[in-house]
Chains A and B, each alone.
Chain A
């Protein structure tokens, strides 16, 4: 496997205070890499630093052997990285189709945009079915699909997903992760953030555990899932709890966010 994205010694934060304190991680080409960690660990901040929404103070981010740290969001998009933000990231007042078209804002070739739209409509029928409805009127799960559709418009190489499972019922959640796998199967690399250790790592090939702005563990997702330390680090209990709680996800949000 080759490395698609490499983050080395990244320090970044908001308004002068550092949230990420020297973060190192790699994302292998073709993998689904999952970042897990308690609230406030800096997971979203890592994604924002990659996508250019936040400039790192120190460190390097290398994508396909080229440095991209400090790039504008637009320049990052141009390299082939797209981000789906945490929370509802659609434009509520705009129609579903307008939202999806915005995913191809960088492109100038109208025919190419139309072609990309037709392709994502094939993958996500909802984009066609609800094309002229306000995006804000869709349910949470439907909005997620439209977000996925939008992020595929640029035919990205690397997709950053921030908590795709948030607020979804188990059935919808499964469908969302199936979609993530489908995107991987079509040749894309995925870096996602998950609160829910079991669901997240279960659907991934690689895992990264973060805590207090630092990376604590990296490895294959199976290694991470069975690492004895993760229970202590993250769940405040043992991993056995997580494994035996069949069906109901571990109560990750109740884990104390100690680093605040």
Chain B
């Protein structure tokens, strides 16, 4: 089992690398690109919102900044279509991250509920700016990316696919690293009880801000790649209010605060939405909203913790009952928690310090 756990990430990575060779139809690789980009964004969003418990609903602002940054840079320096724009993606993420420092600092001056409202407001302010800063953004007509004429139709999706995969792996890696670091421990403490965290010496203000900026950095990079793939930026769809709803839903569905939940949620949701949009074209815009809404209800009602934690609990229960048939007393399993509250447990935990005191 232990062994399997160490191997399975590599298996997934290999599957991710091999995918476009197994399924080379551009229709499906296109879906995969969108799904992976959302997976990267959801994973990054989770680093902030999942670990700190502060729900941010304005990350579309950083998605938009990333997209616009790349479009403006390409236009201004007349960068040709091809690989070069990809090298500028980290710079776009950096610009989004820089913008997120003051915006995050302002929003994080407030506690949870007000915070949500302020993040939404920052998004609308930035969308408004993209309409109105015409000299920079070209207003409502937007900016086109340079065409990539040299890539054959069969090849076109591949670079985007691998960049999206790389972003997902990086976001997941950072998420893993944060989750297993002291910094991440502080974030979880903030989620549980901010004042107690403060009392233990956690720098709550700067910890939250750092997590916020990390998530904005990745979302900015995703915005840049996404927009480049679409071929243009425009205020209405590069600054998309539904982006945050989608991300939040994906993360909640997969399991907020977990490592793999956001990835799973976005792969499932984004690919099924793209698939539906392709196959039921009439009125697809409305259709996926209805789908989002109903899915959200189903998730909240049936899997309030999300897929990953629920599946883990199911697996634990299965194992408990499974070992029960072998071992008559399965008291060591997770299902025995209520039992732990009774007196015998107390005695065990307390015995040694008492002896220690005598010695």
Minimum C-beta distance from A119 to chain B (A):
12
A221: B residues at CB distance < 8 A: none
Whether B349 and A142, one on each chain, are in contact in the complex, defined by CB atoms closer than 8 angstroms, is: yes
Partner of B352 from A83, A92, A125, A134 at Cβ < 8 Å: A125
CB-defined A-B contacts under 8 Å, sample of 7:
A77-B201, A83-B199, A101-B182, A102-B197, A139-B342, A145-B350, A179-B353
A73 to B353, CA, bound (A): 28
When the two chains form their complex, are residues B356 and A74 in contact, meaning their CB atoms are under 8 A apart?
A: no
A251 at the interface (CB under 8 A from B): no
A138 to B202 Cα, complex, angstroms: 24
Considering only residues 106-124 of chain A, those with a C-beta below 8 Å from chain B are 106, 108, 123-124
Partner of B191, one of A93, A105, A134: A93
Chain B residue, CB-CB nearest to A174: B354
B349–A124 CB distance below 8 A: yes
Say whether B112 faces chain A, with CB atoms less than 8 Å apart: no
Within the assembled complex, what's the spacing in Å between the Cα atoms of A108 and B185? 13
**Hey, which chain B residues are within 8 Å of A142, CB to CB?**
340, 345-346, 349-350
- Is there a chain A Cβ closer than 8 Å to B337's Cβ? yes
Question: Are A178 and B354 closer than 8 Å at their CB atoms?
Answer: yes
Q: Are B191 and A178 in contact (CB under 8 A)?
A: no
A74 contacts across to B, CB distance below 8 A: 201, 203
Instruction: Give Cα A139 to B343, complex, Å.
Output: 8
CA A191 to CA B342, docked complex, whole Å: 30
The answer to whether A103 touches B200, judged by C-beta atoms less than 8 angstroms apart, is yes
> Is there an interface contact between B340 and A175, defined as CB atoms closer than 8 Å?
no
CB distance from B203 to the nearest CB of A (A): 7
Cα A130 to Cα B337 with chains together (Å): 11
Is the pair B348, A129 in contact by a Cβ cutoff of 8 Å?
Answer: yes
Cβ-defined contact, B349 with A92, below 8 A: no
Cross-chain contact B201 with A51 (CB below 8 angstroms): no
Q: Are A175 and B353 in contact (CB under 8 A)?
A: yes
In residues 177-204 of chain B, which contact A (Cβ within 8 Å)? 182, 185-186, 188-189, 191-193, 195-203
Does B199 lie within 8 Å of A53, measured CB to CB?
yes
Q: Evaluate contact between A94 and B199: CB separation under 8 angstroms.
A: no
A 160-185 to B, binary, CB cutoff 8 A, 1 in contact else 0:
00000000010110011011011001
Assess whether A141 is interfacial by the CB under 8 Å rule.
Answer: yes
Determine the chain B residues whose CB is within 8 A of the CB of A14 once the complex forms. none
Q: Known contacts A123-B356, A133-B340; is A141 also within 8 Å of B199 by CB?
A: no
Q: Is the CB of A125 within 8 A of B357?
A: no
| Cross-chain pair count, CB within 8 angstroms | 109
Interface residue total, chain A, C-beta cutoff 8 A: 44
Chain A residues with CB under 8 Å of chain B are 51, 53, 73-74, 77-78, 83, 85, 89, 91-94, 98, 101-103, 105-106, 108, 123-126, 129-130, 133-134, 137-139, 141-142, 145, 169, 171-172, 175-176, 178-179, 181-182, 185
Interface status of B5 (Cβ within 8 A of chain A): no
Interface pair A139/B352, CB less than 8 Å apart: no
B341 at interface, CB cutoff 8 A: yes
Contact between A77 and B200 (Cβ–Cβ < 8 Å)? Answer: yes
The minimal Cβ–Cβ distance linking B27 to chain A, given in whole angstroms, is 43
Rounded to whole Å, the gap between the CB of B256 and the closest CB of chain A is 12
Q: Which 5 A-B pairs have the closest CB atoms?
A: A126-B349, A182-B357, A91-B192, A175-B350, A74-B201
Q: Are B201 and A93 in contact (CB under 8 A)?
A: no
B352 and chain A: residue at smallest CB distance: A125
Q: How far is the CB of B186 from chain A (nearest CB, A)?
A: 6
> Closest residue of chain B to A83, judged by CB?
B199
The residue in chain B whose Cβ has the minimal distance to the Cβ of A53 is B199
Enumerate chain A residues within 8 angstroms of B197, measured Cβ to Cβ.
102
How far is A78 from B200 in the complex, measured between Cα atoms in Å? 10
**Interchain nearest-CB distance for B200 vs A (Å):** 5
The smallest beta-carbon distance between A123 and chain B, in angstroms, is 6
Query: Which B residues are in CB contact (< 8 Å) with A106?
Result: 201
Partner of B340, one of A98, A139, A172, A176: A139
